[in-house]
Amino acid sequence: MPQSRHKAATPVGSKDAGRDKQSQLESFKSGNAAVLTSNYGVQSPDNHNSLKAGTRGPTLLEDFILHEKITHFDHERIPERVVNARGCGAHGYFKVYKSMVQYTRAAFLQDPEIETPVFVRFSTVVGSKGSADTVRDVRGFAVKFYTREGNYDLVGNNMPVFFIQDAIKFPDLIHALKPEPHHEMPQATSAHDTFWDFASLMPESTHMLMWTMSDRALPRSLRMMEGFGVHAFRFSNARGDTCFVKFHWKPKLGVHGLTWDEAQKIAGVDPDFHRRELWEAIESGNFPEWELGVQLIDAGKETELGFDILDATKLIPEAQVPVQIIGKLVLNRNPDNFFAETEQVAFHPGHLVPGIDFSNDPLLQGRLFSYTDAQLSRLGGANFHELPINRSVCPIHNFQRDGMHRQSINKSRVAYEPNTLGNGTEFRVDGAAQGFQSFPELLDSNKTRCRSASFDDHFSQATLFWNSQTAVEKDHIVEAFRFELSKVDVPDIRQRMVDNLAHIDLKLATRVAATLGIGSPNPKAAAGRPGFRDYRITNKVNEDAALSSAGKLAGSVKTRRIAILVADGVDAAPLRRLQQDLVDAGAICKLVAPRLGTVSTSSGRSLVVDHTFGSMPSVMFDAVLIPGGKTCVLTLSALGDAIHFVLEAYKHCKTICALNDGAQLLGSLGFGLVGNPETVLVPTQGIMIADARKVLDGQVSRDFIAAIGRHRHWDRINVEAVPA
């Protein structure tokens, strides 16, 4: 594990004075009890009462302790981020698997023995700090590497493309996405008129819309989503050779999503679902892991891709350029203080190290200005780099001075270079090959406000994405478009959007339009609109399995949450074996019952209950186990909340395992169960009915674990008929 970066600051002033201060501090800390003080160390005599003129008299103006406490409270909030406000983070490390010296001279990508400390922040994009985690949205995926050459920030998303091609449209995009200004609604959602008005008039957003309407916008966990650098960057090696690079984060647990119904319900039950799950995984030692992959394209060969690599609305299909896995990221420590670390961390795509450089992507170029400008506003001045979470681990030498919240105390008399009054030579780069070297790209062109014709195709890759989805994933995309557009009040906007979708696939557009009370899609209707360019490239590939989540199932049940439904009279013997096998496989088992406290087993022992049906519904779990026991099952079968729990888990295509009498609870699903449980054939996926006597040989556990590892059973019958 990497060493903590949060060491005590070196005392300032003389060495003796420093030692005196430090010894006093250590002496103070070693006292028998902590003493409450002001911010300047004055002991506070009473933290419950302000200074008054008599016990019932007015508060006195001279109460400096009250003033300090209230003043700090009044100013302890900073402006939240305009976008990506809702976030959480964690510390960890990165290790490269093998040296990348052939492609880049970035030091942290050379030695497999070195662990580079990192801080990662995940976020939603649209909502405010108080919004829910599980809304349909893009997720930010920002990684700060604390390298020996300086900080490197890879600031990306969980989707490889973006809505727009040029940064000048970013304010318009966000203004359209945010709550409408006349009444500040709706919060943290794109399902309203202003967004779809904008999107329907910006055909360049079409590819990204397909991603945000897919399951990728509803991750099951932050630990179960991919990350992407989005833009094309450059690698350069010591010889000056360069290539384009796109970055990918591949989660070791696979890529998994929620259903839309689940996401909405979880937002009500636990709006902190994703941040809580990340925190608990790290605290329990189940450290999240991703592998870093790169797509490398030799400089000069990018034109052979069939699209413009500088266009942020395009991705490089993995079927065309495979991803090379080069290292791993492990998150192993939660923040000590959310505000000081997660809230004050300042990312910037312009924080580079030698060996990594920009491309001319116009969206990336605009971000290079925007991020610094935003941090100046949020963090109160130019010295936000000195905050502990942002501070580099390598030495800092320059002549920047002063400003709000300055923490460094510079002792030299000079604040300029060159100079003869201070030792300025140590602050100079020693040799032309040292330090950061920008790629010496030849530029000779006229100033212009227009886009390259190579940016004109807005639909080919959207079609590629659609063609690459499974039938179930396509159903989810259609339902997402229907939901979002049904929230749009103006019919013309709904019509305009489905007309755009017709350029992707006419069947897609027709299915979306079917429930919206508008006309049939008309692909010719869009031709005369500003910004519409009816141009398509010829895809090198027509489908790419990497664009589907279905092929990214890791099969592991680590940290998967299993609900065990119990009541008095539960048969404990097979339950204990199944529970132990699940825990040994890394799953988290929780007993859910009609009430808290304990339930009695059929043998007279007691089991401690973790949750009730009312406090922890099925949407909070990945699978359901219904143990046997006649009395237990009779109680649960008569309880509406228990029946709803099972129906809902069935509707969300989760694995359900019932032992012996537990199968009776499945009767409400309409299976018409008859005969002994061991002979019952269940006509749908992910439903197991097992004989408790066969639990001890481990086969039931193995089958149950394998079924959970599939994540969902999307081909389940009669799902639409379930009223949950």
What confidence tens digit (pLDDT) does each residue in 18-43 have? 445 445 445 444 445 588 998 988 99
pLDDT over threshold 50, residue 4: no
**pLDDT for 17:** 40
Percent of the chain with pLDDT over 90: 71
Q: Beta strands 561-565 and 623-626: pairing type?
A: parallel
What's the Cα-to-Cα distance from 362 to each of 45, 158, 207, 369, 371, rounded to whole Å? 59, 20, 18, 12, 15
Give the mean model confidence (pLDDT) for residues 68-78.
89
pLDDT over threshold 80, residue 684: no
**pLDDT for 680:** 44
Give the mean model confidence (pLDDT) for residues 383-411.
90
> CA–CA separation, 594 vs 365, rounded Å?
57
Between residues 71 and 590, the one the model is more confident about: 590
**pLDDT for 366:** 94
Contact 584, 615 (CB under 8 A): no
* Sequential DSSP letters for 651-664: HTT-EEEEEGGGGG
Between residues 696 and 131, the one the model is more confident about: 131
**pLDDT for 445:** 83
**pLDDT for 1:** 42
pLDDT over threshold 60, residue 266: yes
**pLDDT for 677:** 44
**pLDDT for 605:** 94
pLDDT over threshold 90, residue 524: no
**pLDDT for 683:** 57
Span of 31-35, 198-202, 494-498, 639-643 with lowest mean pLDDT: 31-35
- Kindly indicate the confidence band of residue 598, based on its pLDDT and cuts at 50, 70 and 90: very high
pLDDT over threshold 60, residue 547: yes
Report the predicted TM-score, pTM, of the whole model to 2 decimal places: 0.91
Beta carbons within 8 Å of 297's beta carbon, 6+ residues apart: 243, 244, 245, 305, 309, 316, 321
Contact 427, 399 (CB under 8 A): yes
**pLDDT for 668:** 60
pLDDT over threshold 60, residue 419: yes
**pLDDT for 395:** 87
Span of 156-170, 432-446, 528-542, 561-575 with lowest mean pLDDT: 528-542
pLDDT over threshold 70, residue 515: yes
| 271-298 pLDDT per residue, tens | 999 999 999 999 999 999 999 999 999 9
Give the mean model confidence (pLDDT) for residues 385-406.
90
Give the mean model confidence (pLDDT) for residues 417-422.
79
pLDDT over threshold 80, residue 250: yes
**pLDDT for 410:** 87
**pLDDT for 9:** 36
Give the mean model confidence (pLDDT) for residues 37-52.
90
> CA–CA separation, 654 vs 685, rounded Å?
9
Question: What mean pLDDT, rounded, does the chain reach?
Answer: 90
- Kindly indicate the confidence band of residue 425, based on its pLDDT and cuts at 50, 70 and 90: low
- Kindly indicate the confidence band of residue 352, based on its pLDDT and cuts at 50, 70 and 90: very high
β strands within 69-115, DSSP E:
87-96
What's the Cα-to-Cα distance from 617 to each of 102, 261, 578, 623, rounded to whole Å? 53, 13, 21, 12
What's the Cα-to-Cα distance from 145 to each of 99, 173, 233, 296, 557, rounded to whole Å? 17, 29, 16, 21, 30
Span of 177-186, 403-412, 453-462, 607-616 with lowest mean pLDDT: 403-412
**pLDDT for 674:** 38
Give the chain's largest Cα–Cα span: 96
Percent of the chain with pLDDT over 70: 91
pLDDT over threshold 70, residue 325: yes
- Kindly indicate the confidence band of residue 13, based on its pLDDT and cuts at 50, 70 and 90: very low
Q: Is 31 exposed, middle or buried (0-12, 13-18, 19+ CB in 10 A)?
A: exposed
Between residues 22 and 162, the one the model is more confident about: 162
∠52-55-60 over CA atoms, to 5°? 10
**pLDDT for 437:** 83
**pLDDT for 21:** 43
pLDDT over threshold 60, residue 6: no
